[in-house]
Amino acid sequence: MRQLVVIGNGMVGHRLVEAVRDRDADGTRRIVVLGEEPRPAYDRVALSSYFDGAGEKALRLADLTVHDQVELRLGDPAAAIDRGARTVTTAAGERIGYDELVLATGSSAFVPPVPGHDLPGCHVYRTIDDLDAITATARDARAGVVIGGGLLGLEAANALRLLGVEPHVVELAPWLMPAQVDEGGGALLGRLVTETGVTVHAGTGVSAVEAGPDGRAARVRLGEQELEAGIVVFAVGIRPRDELARAAGLDLGPRGGVAVDPACRTGDPAIYAVGECASVEGTVYGLIAPGNAMAEVVADRLMGGRAAFTGADTSTKLKLLGVDVAGFGDAHARTEGALEVVLNDAPGRRYAKLVVSDDAATLLGGVLVGDASAYAGLRPLVGHALPGDPLDLIAPGRGDGGVGVGALPDDAQICSCNAVTKGALVEAVHEGACDVAALKDCTNAGTSCGSCVPMLKTLLADAGVEQSSALCEHFPHSRAELVEIVLSTGIATFSELIAGHGTGRGCDICRPAVASILASLGGGHILDGEQAALQDTNDHFLANIQRNGTYSVVPRIPGGEITPDRLIAIGEVARDFGLYTKITGGQRIDLLGARVEQLPKVWRRLVDAGFESGHAYGKALRTVKSCVGSTWCRYGVQDSVGLAVELELRYRGLRAPHKIKAGVSGCARECAEARGKDIGVIATDNGWNLYVGGNGGFRPRHAELLVSDVDHATLIRYIDRFLMFYVRTADRLQRTAAWIEGVDGGLEHVRSVVVEDSLGIAADLETAMARHIGGYADEWRGVLEDPDKLARFVSFANAPDAPDPTITFDTERDQPVPAGPVALGMPARPQHVEA
């Protein structure tokens, strides 16, 4: 048996081992992996999620040691290579023989030799240990400086922001992310990043890091300018880890890195190099996609193949500080004769540029900032003929607004991270891949950054493959089936459900969906125990997050009816906490601009005044809108206010697949606009008409008549059944309108179940609703009565009472509004198109 030694246990080294194992079905090689870090390989691309609560285990890649042929040695890196004896000596002094050796040592962070660069409090941003050190230093820092405004620098700035440090970013180039975006995109990116509370210093460099009285970093000097800096993070660039190769006498590239040929082989035929430590024809690639491509080449060569590395797609799509950014192909129009098609919609917070050939027939590259939704369709077209006018592909309102997978040639790369073409995916579908998970398994598409997954779904649909009803790749069941499982088994936690009926650890699709199911079926307070970790962003703090990082407070005002005392209480709270107030179309009052640490104080006042959560943040009943009805209106024929209040109090807190809105009109004049609601009730001389399945949004729909002229008790009974039937059977994030359309038989089937009890489940649905009503408790009152739940409402863990310094306000019409160019009172956003 031959022995392969891999030096390096990063993402590319890990990929190499998996690629060799996939090809070596007969087990002809024993593989020894030498890792410098004391922990198994983890996802460095997702490293910043460490600051969002992802633990080390969540970042880990698949366990290589499940294969008997793989030996993983951690914390004992290679110290020397003896090419003559074909051995590697580790730091602990052990000598390990090899038949083939692969260098996957990656890179190290470059730290410019400015005075003070090595002071305590100065860090780099590369490993989990680095992140732990940054976290420790940030506890005592008020402001911090990140040197470098590229991809990694902006991630570091966001990390400081999450740690409660006021971040500054210093970039030598005139704009942020100069390698990925052009000047126009960089200008918008800088503005959007600044709105998040990060101060940008572009077109300037660091001249020194200066110490304070304690000998630690305290200031960063930019020429004559001085910035406070209790922490400094260098994110300037990388340097290939080629010291082992250099000491072993291997050739290096002109800018460092181990020189390799297209087979990724060094001058020594037994030694290969992959990833950031390799120099291919003088180029060192600092992205995961080229590294993965090199790993596949080496794995093929080791098995006797003829694969060659001929370059790789260096396109990138990411979200930094909440801002979408993408660059692909020749983003800087360096190709001779290249033309640029630009849409610069600064008020609309979006910038798009396509680079095309001199005859405007071939796409060469592009830049997207603010809205990168077109990336999945455009990137595979690079080097191929455009399907039409390039401006139609980036300008809303022109053409079809995008590129379908059918327009792409077979050799277009759908997944650039793993170099998977449309042709390879189509072939996989023809060979039996019938869902996204199967395509991932057999092609590796969508297993790295995931940006191509929407295209995989489209490709399957275009191929006529019936899509699985599975909730996600972790559960083979639909949402409705999971509801039945929970009902029949009494399972009360996500961990129990996925252990018994799913696989893996879950994802951002199934975790909140299961949280909603458990809450719908009486699973306790949504912030209890494990439930809290499953929630969407808004449910984490029982409030809707706004664009400047503040939150909304929306107390329930059933039916829009409110006493003067309660109206005064809301006004006093808004005044005392400096909140923006607005009466909504749903007949309640929004209080906007509350910082996270203010939320419990605001709600304490409101709860004491008799208010409760309006569930504006949840997939639940929002409001029941009403007109004044027969109580006041000379046309009203029924008490619409009384019914609206009754319905809102009856269904408050009902968690559902999507938000639910209702309306009650006291006569056919329809002043409550009930037919635009999920539940619409309109008074008649003989009782009530019940309409279902209406909604506003992107596709407004009128509700359809379910029953007419029913009495009060019958109306309530049918609404109970309808809502619980919807809660149990709809897909995740499916409004009632789409649910009715998708039900086999449509509205007629829903009517047969709800009105005629065709399935014999009416009594069960009514019992379930009665159980919900009987078990209702105000979520915010539950928080205020529980110290453990209250502890989560802080901006910074190390300073619970401190406000977020990045949140600032302007004043318009005597009210606070988020600071920045996009604020209330702006004129309509015209589109400025340059072509």
CATH code at position 412: 1.10.10.1100
Q: What is the DSSP string of 7-57?
A: E--SHHHHHHHHHHHHH-TT--EEEEEEESSSS--B-STTGGGGGGT--HH
Q: Which of 385, 403, 421 is the last residue of a domain?
A: 403
Residue indicated by tokens 């107390």: 555
Q: Does residue 835 surpass a pLDDT of 60? A: no
Are residue 488 and residue 621 in the same domain, yes or no? no
Residue 417's closest CA among 386, 456, 459, 390? 456
Greater pLDDT, 834 or 267: 267
Are residue 255 and residue 288 in the same domain, yes or no? yes
Is 721 within the bounds of a domain?
A: yes
Instruction: Write the DSSP symbol of residue 767.
Output: H
Confidence of residue 554 (pLDDT cuts 50, 70, 90): very high
Structure tokens at 227: 């910035």
Residue indicated by tokens 């639940």: 620
Residue 667 labelled as part of a binding site = yes
What would the mean pLDDT of 430-450 be, rounded to a whole number? 76
Structural domain boundaries enclosing 260: 2-107+239-302
Q: Which residues of 718-739 are buried (b: 16+ CB within 10 A; e: fewer)?
A: bbbbbbbbbbbbbbbebbbbbb
Confidence of residue 466 (pLDDT cuts 50, 70, 90): low
Is 555 within the bounds of a domain?
A: no
d(CA 313, CA 329): 7
d(CA 679, CA 698): 18
Cβ(761)–Cβ(768) under 8 Å?
no
Q: Does residue 62 surpass a pLDDT of 60? A: yes
Are residue 672 and residue 770 in the same domain, yes or no? yes
At 827 the pLDDT is 34
Are residue 763 and residue 631 in the same domain, yes or no? yes
Q: Which of 251, 276, 302 is the last residue of a domain?
A: 302
At 548 the pLDDT is 77
Confidence of residue 404 (pLDDT cuts 50, 70, 90): low
Residue 671 labelled as part of a binding site = yes
Are residue 21 and residue 100 in the same domain, yes or no? yes
d(CA 216, CA 264): 44
Given CA atoms 189, 195, 198, 199 in this order, what sign does their dihedral have? positive
Residue 472 labelled as part of a binding site = no
Greater pLDDT, 532 or 37: 37
Q: Which of 414, 439, 468 is the last residue of a domain?
A: 468
Given CA atoms 643, 646, 649, 651 in this order, what sign does their dihedral have? negative
Q: Does residue 400 surpass a pLDDT of 50? A: no
Are residue 394 and residue 441 in the same domain, yes or no? no
Is 780 within the bounds of a domain?
A: no
Threshold 0.85, pTM exceeds: no
Is 445 within the bounds of a domain?
A: yes
Are residue 231 and residue 160 in the same domain, yes or no? yes
Tally of domains within the chain:
6
At 206 the pLDDT is 94
Are residue 225 and residue 261 in the same domain, yes or no? no
Residue 259's closest CA among 270, 247, 246? 246
Is 608 within the bounds of a domain?
A: no
Are residue 765 and residue 644 in the same domain, yes or no? yes
- CATH number for the domain spanning 88: value is 3.50.50.60
Given CA atoms 361, 365, 369, 374 in this order, what sign does their dihedral have? positive
Are residue 13 and residue 147 in the same domain, yes or no? no
List of long-range contacts for 529-536, beta carbons under 8 Å, 24+ apart? 529/493, 530/493, 530/494, 530/495, 531/493, 531/494, 532/789, 532/792, 533/53, 534/494, 536/512
Which of 154-158, 441-445, 622-626 is predicted most confidently? Answer: 622-626
Is 596 within the bounds of a domain?
A: no
Q: What is the DSSP string of 117-162?
A: TTSTTEEE-SSHHHHHHHHHHHTT-SEEEEE--SHHHHHHHHHHHH
Residue 724's closest CA among 674, 656, 661? 656
- CATH number for the domain spanning 392: value is 3.30.390.30
- The strand ranges marked E within 604-725 are 621-626, 660-665, 679-684, 687-692, 704-710
Q: Does residue 458 surpass a pLDDT of 80? A: no
- CATH number for the domain spanning 748: value is 3.30.413.10
Confidence of residue 384 (pLDDT cuts 50, 70, 90): confident
Percentage of the chain with pLDDT > 90?
Answer: 54
Greater pLDDT, 46 or 362: 362
Are residue 488 and residue 441 in the same domain, yes or no? no
d(CA 20, CA 731): 40
At 621 the pLDDT is 95
Is 821 within the bounds of a domain?
A: no
Instruction: Give pLDDT tens digits for 493-517.
Output: 888 899 899 988 788 788 888 988 9
Instruction: Give pLDDT tens digits for 760-817.
Output: 999 999 999 999 999 999 999 999 999 988 888 877 656 667 777 778 888 989 999 8
Residue 507 labelled as part of a binding site = no
Is 382 within the bounds of a domain?
A: yes
Are residue 298 and residue 435 in the same domain, yes or no? no
